[in-house]
């Protein structure tokens, strides 16, 4: 049911309310490693808030795809090594055969040379010619044997090099798989407290069984000696109402009676959807906050942010009587019809109407 209210002049302090989460300003991030499979599944991780020592296991990904492949890669190494050794032995035997043939032809040439050295006047002319022909044949045979031996040795060397490359490639594949498996277990680089990261698509903390991609920050180790920060989001309908350097009050939900001063240090220039198929878009906002009590201020705590803007005066309308869409505002009148208006600013309850309404207009709010 609509509540009727008459518009009147007044003033407000423009105020923007945000909700955020406390984060460490300085922290060591443990991210998803890049692997051949790209996506990995979280098999185990330490509990949020757990105290760890340097070298303690804090995060482990499922390695079943790598261990299965590792066995096959190790078999490939054995096969490549066997092929290399077998070829080396066979090629050595073939080269030895060629060398034996070469020595045989060399001896034949020496014998033929010795026979042709006998003075021609001591032998029949036909014998001299036969011996000279035999020497020529021996020289040709030796030349061919030398070429065959050189070609065999070169071919063996090239094939052995190919086999060695195949063996080295198989060994590197095993080393890469073993390295990938070892990188699937992340350990704490120093003493600290575990803080579980937020899934960028689901808007919740990571859980065991989540499928993640390289670069996702799963776990952080905050440095509590450094100032903290707050990560919040500003709806795109409030574009322009927050600026870098704007000051406000930030209250931890766990300690509602102890607000702390904070100020905006970063504001994203582009609004983005928080989830894959969401139509709502938000600007990422980062605020700095003093770390006055490291024992109580822990990453992950919810924070209410109240940013104070300028003082505005003019025609006031209940915020619940206004609807905002794509940067435009519409005022719900007492009869239920909507009228487009221009809004100068708002606090939590009221908005200043710059144009489109006059004093005495009756509006309906819920």
- Write out pLDDT tens, residues 195-253: 898 888 887 899 999 999 999 999 999 888 888 899 999 988 778 888 899 999 999 99
CB atoms within 10 A of CB 323: 12
Nearest to 309 by CA among 197, 234, 206, 360: 234
Going by pLDDT thresholds of 50, 70 and 90, the confidence category of residue 176 is confident
pLDDT tens-digit profile of 66-112? 888 888 888 999 999 999 899 889 989 988 999 999 999 999 999 98
Distance CA 80, CA 92 (A): 18
What does the pLDDT read at residue 223?
86
Residue 47 pLDDT exceeds 70? yes
* Residue ranges in the chain assigned as alpha helix (H): 64-116, 125-183
The answer for 297, left when phi > 0, alpha when psi is -120 to 50, beta otherwise, is: beta
The two three-digit tokens of residue 244, written as one number: 């870098």
CB atoms within 10 A of CB 255: 13
């Amino acid at each position: 049911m609509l509540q009727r209210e008459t518009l009147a002049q007044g003033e407000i302090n423009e105020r923007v309310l945000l909700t955020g989460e406390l984060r460490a300003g300085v922290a060591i991030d443990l991210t998803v490693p890049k692997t051949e499979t790209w996506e990995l599944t979280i098999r185990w991780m330490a509990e949020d808030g757990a105290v760890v020592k340097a070298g303690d296991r804090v995060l482990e990904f499922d390695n079943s795809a790598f261990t299965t492949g590792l066995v096959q890669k190790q078999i490939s190494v054995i096969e490549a090594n066997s092929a290399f050794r077998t070829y080396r032995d066979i090629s050595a035997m073939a080269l030895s055969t060629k060398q034996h043939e070469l020595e045989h032809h060399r001896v034949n040439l020496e014998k033929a040379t010795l026979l042709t050295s006998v003075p021609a006047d001591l032998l029949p002319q036909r014998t001299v010619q036969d011996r000279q022909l035999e020497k020529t044949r021996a020289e040709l045979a030796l030349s061919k044997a030398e070429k065959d031996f050189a070609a065999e040795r070169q071919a063996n060397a090239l094939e052995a090099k190919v086999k060695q490359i195949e063996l080295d490639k198989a060994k590197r594949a095993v080393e890469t798989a073993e390295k990938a498996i070892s990188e699937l277990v992340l350990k704490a680089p120093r003493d600290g407290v575990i803080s579980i990261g937020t899934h960028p698509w689901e808007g919740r903390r990571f859980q065991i069984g989540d499928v993640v991609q390289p670069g996702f920050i799963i776990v952080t180790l905050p440095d509590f000696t450094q100032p903290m920060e707050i990560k919040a989001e500003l709806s795109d309908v409030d574009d322009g109402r927050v600026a870098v350097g704007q000051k406000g009050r930030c209250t931890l939900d766990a300690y509602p009676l102890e607000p702390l001063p904070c100020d905006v240090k970063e504001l994203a220039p582009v609004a983005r959807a928080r989830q894959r198929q969401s139509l709502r878009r938000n600007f990422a906002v980062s605020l700095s906050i003093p770390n006055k009590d490291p024992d109580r201020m822990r990453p992950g705590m919810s924070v209410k942010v109240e940013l104070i803007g300028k003082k505005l005066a003019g025609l006031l309308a209940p915020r619940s009587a206004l609807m905002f869409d794509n940067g435009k505002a519409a005022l719900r009148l007492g009869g239920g019809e909507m009228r487009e208006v221009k809004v100068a600013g708002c606090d939590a309850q009221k908005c200043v109407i710059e144009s489109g309404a006059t004093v005495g207009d009756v509006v309906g709010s819920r």
